[in-house]
C-alpha cells in the first residue's frame, strides 16, 4: 500500500510549526506521532513511517529545528509538549502511539504525563531517561559534554550540499551506513545560501534544551506517573559509534528497578543515529511499536 507524504503547518505560540504527514490511501488503522532528537528533524523517520503503511504517521520539526527553526523561545520540554498538543488538535487526533528519539523521548514523556488520554502507548528510543551530568560540569559546559561534535556542527558553514554530504559521510556513526535515508536527512538539514549554508537547528534552542536532559525532580516524578504501556529501546553505541553508549547496560539495570512499569529492549548493532536511520534499526524499533499497535484502538479523530 502506498503512503502519501506531505508537510503541513500548525499554529503554535509564536508562529507555525511544520510537520510531516504520511497518510495511507485507505482509512487509517491508527495514528503514530514521531518526535525527533535535539538537532534532527522529521527526516529521522521515513524508514519507520514506511513500516506502517496502514497507519497515519505524523512527525513534527520541533521548535527551533528544520522548517520550524524560526519559531521563537520559549524552548524546553514543556513548550515542545505544548506544541505537540497543538499538533494533535490541528490534525484532529484523539490519541496516538507516541514515539520519541533522543531528546524527543523527553518531549514525548512530558507530553504523555500531561495528556495521558491522548497517548495509547509510549516508545522511548535511546532517550527520555535522565542523563546525569558528569560531576563538576557547569551549566555552560553541559550541552558540549552531552552532545559533543553534534553541538559543534551547528556553528559550521558549508559551501554547498556536496560539502555537507561529505562531512556526514566521514562521520563515524555512518561508517558502512551512509544510505539514501541518511543522504535525505542530511540534505534537509542544510539551509541558507551558498557558499554560507549552515545546519538548520537554532543553536539557542539546542543549548537551552540540552540543559533539561539531566531531568529535574518534576520530570523524574512524571516518569512514575505514566499509566500507558511504555517501552525503552537502548542503542548499544553512542553518537560517535562508541562504547560506552548514551545509556550503559548498568544504567538500564538501575532504571529497570526504578521504573518497573517500563519494558526495556536493546536494539542490536546500532548507534544513537542508526537506530532510526539504518534499516536494521528501523526494523527493530518497528517491531517494538508493532507490539503496542496491536492493542491500539481503531482510528478515532478528535
pLDDT score of 136: 76
Q: pLDDT, tens digit, for every residue of 258-290?
A: 999 999 999 999 999 999 999 999 999 999 999
pLDDT score of 4: 92
Joined together, the cell numbers standing for residue 88 give 494533535
pLDDT score of 21: 98
Total Cβ atoms within 10 A of residue 58? 28
- DSSP reduced 3-state for 299: coil
What Å distances lie between residue 65 and 50, 68, 80, 209, 264, CA to CA?
A: 23, 5, 11, 12, 29
Find the Cα–Cα–Cα–Cα dihedral 191, 192, 197, 198, rounded to 10°. Answer: -50
pLDDT score of 201: 98
Q: Decide if pLDDT at 224 tops 60.
A: yes
In-domain check, residue 227? yes
Residue 157 CA to chain centroid, in angstroms? 24
In-domain check, residue 138? no
Q: CA-CA distance, 285 to 281, in Å (whole number)?
A: 6
Greater pLDDT, 151 or 283: 283
The number of distinct structural domains making up the chain is 1
Q: What is the reported pTM?
A: 0.96
In-domain check, residue 87? yes
In-domain check, residue 258? yes
Q: With cut-offs at 50, 70 and 90, classify the pLDDT of residue 298.
A: low
| Domain hosting residue 80, numbered range | 3-131+201-293
pLDDT score of 77: 98
pLDDT score of 302: 54
Q: With cut-offs at 50, 70 and 90, classify the pLDDT of residue 23.
A: very high
pLDDT score of 297: 65
Judging by DSSP bridges, how do beta strands 119-125 and 230-234 pair with one another?
A: parallel
Greater pLDDT, 281 or 133: 281
Cis bond upstream, residue 235 (ω within 30) = no
Q: CA-CA distance, 191 to 259, in Å (whole number)?
A: 41
Q: CA-CA distance, 136 to 210, in Å (whole number)?
A: 17
* 226 in Cβ contact with 122 (< 8 Å): yes
Quote the mean pLDDT of the chain: 95
Element (H, E) at 182: helix 180-189
Q: Decide if pLDDT at 138 tops 80.
A: no
Element (H, E) at 220: helix 217-225
What Å distances lie between residue 250 and 130, 215, 216, 245, CA to CA?
A: 14, 19, 21, 11
Query: What angle, 0 to 180 degrees and rounded to 10, lies between the N-to-C axes of helices 103-114 and 217-225?
Result: 60
Q: pLDDT, tens digit, for every residue of 88-122?
A: 999 999 999 999 999 999 999 999 999 999 999 99
Non-local (6+) Cβ contacts of 58 within 8 A are: 19, 20, 21, 22, 31, 32, 33, 34, 87, 91, 93, 96
CATH of the domain at 90: 3.40.50.1820
- DSSP reduced 3-state for 47: helix
In-domain check, residue 157? no
Amino acid at each position: 500500500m502506498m503512503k502519501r507524504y506531505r508537510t503541513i503547518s500548525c499554529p503554535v505560540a509564536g508562529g507555525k510549526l511544520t510537520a510531516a504527514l504520511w497518510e495511507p490511501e485507505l482509512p487509517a488503522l491508527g495514528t503514530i506521532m514521531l518526535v525527533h532528537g535535539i538537532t534532527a528533524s522529521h527526516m529521522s523517520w521515513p524508514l519507520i513511517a514506511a513500516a506502517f503503511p496502514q497507519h497515519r504517521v505524523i512527525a513534527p520539526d520541533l521548535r527551533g529545528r528544520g522548517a520550524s527553526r524560526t519559531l521563537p523561545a520559549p524552548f524546553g520540554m514543556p513548550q515542545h509538549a505544548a506544541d505537540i498538543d497543538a499538533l494533535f488538535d490541528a490534525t484532529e487526533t484523539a490519541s496516538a502511539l507516541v514515539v520519541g528519539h533522543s531528546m524527543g523521548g523527553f518531549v514525548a514523556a512530558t507530553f504523555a504525563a500531561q495528556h495521558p488520554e491522548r497517548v495509547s502507548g509510549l516508545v522511548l528510543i535511546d532517550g527520555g531517561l535522565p542523563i546525569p551530568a558528569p560531576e563538576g560540569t557547569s551549566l555552560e559546559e553541559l550541552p558540549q559534554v552531552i552532545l559533543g561534535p553534534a553541538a559543534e556542527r551547528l556553528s559550521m558553514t558549508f559551501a554547498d550540499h556536496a560539502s555537507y554530504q561529505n562531512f556526514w559521510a566521514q562521520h563515524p556513526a555512518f561508517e558502512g551506513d551512509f544510505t539514501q535515508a541518511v543522504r535525505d536527512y542530511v540534505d534537509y538539514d542544510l539551509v541558507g545560501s551558498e557558499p554560507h549554508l549552515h545546519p538548520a537547528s537554532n543553536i539557542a534552542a539546542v543549548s537551552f534544551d540540552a540543559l533539561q536532559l539531566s531531568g529535574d525532580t518534576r520530570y523524574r516524578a512524571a516518569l512514575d506517573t505514566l499509566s500507558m504501556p511504555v517501552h525503552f529501546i537502548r542503542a548499544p553505541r553512542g553518537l560517535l559509534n562508541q562504547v560506552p553508549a548514551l545509556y550503559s547496560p548498568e544504567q538500564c539495570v538501575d532504571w529497570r528497578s526504578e521504573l518497573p512499569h517500563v519494558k526495556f529492549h536493546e536494539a542490536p548493532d546500532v548507534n544513537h543515529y542508526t537506530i532510526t536511520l539504518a534499516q536494521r534499526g528501523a526494523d527493530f524499533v518497528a517491531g517494538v511499536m508493532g507490539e503496542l499497535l496491536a492493542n491500539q484502538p481503531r482510528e478515532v479523530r478528535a
